[in-house]
Amino acid sequence: MTLLTQRAGLARTEGLVVPPGGGRTVRTASQEVTFKVTGEHSRVSSSFEVLVPPGFDVGAHRHAHSEELFYVLDGELDVLAFEPRVLSEDWRHWESASGRTVVRATPGTVIVVPPGCPHAFANAGDAPARMFFQSSPPTDHERYFEELLDILKQEGVPDPEAVNDLRARYDIQQLTPLRHDARREAV
């Protein structure tokens, strides 16, 4: 057995099949994340299914080392994946030097974010959105999601200092704050 197959706990000729609804899910009032593929199974990337409720804004941020891919499955999300000419508090009004602006992503939209690229997503609609999310290299985002969801479980507005400290530990430079307006939840 190779080191990879030993670490992944899989025989060399075995893959991983995660059925619909499979994986470990963590939920809070402001986000739901299902771990589909983790560092236990892949040396290349971690994969998640994320349910984004109305009113949730991850805040613009960047990673020095990680690459990410987002694929919108259901609903609509405002998304950003470019360096703005001018940083301001509301990333939804940013524009790149080439004229790119925030996009309303609908099902089938793919967003690829290379290391160093500012990016964000938010659900401005009235219904939840669902996306497939992949982060490379694996494991850091797994631990980050678990710790972030612990912070988001607390009542009221997330503690910005706790979120900033968490993100700093996991290669995330926060450019605008994470926000969640629970009053916008769909009923």
More confident residue, 51 or 39: 51
Which pLDDT score, from 0 to 100, does residue 5 have?
A: 47
Q: What confidence tier does 158 reach under pLDDT thresholds 50, 70, 90?
A: confident
Label residues 122-147 b or e (16+ Cβ within 10 Å = b). Answer: bbebeebbbbbbbbbebebbbebbeb
Q: So what's the pLDDT on residue 43?
A: 87
Say yes or no to pLDDT of 105 above 90. Answer: yes
pLDDT at 12: 61
pLDDT at 148: 79
Residue 10 pLDDT level (bands cut at 50, 70, 90) = low
185 in Cβ contact with 170 (< 8 Å): no
What pLDDT is attached to residue 8? 53
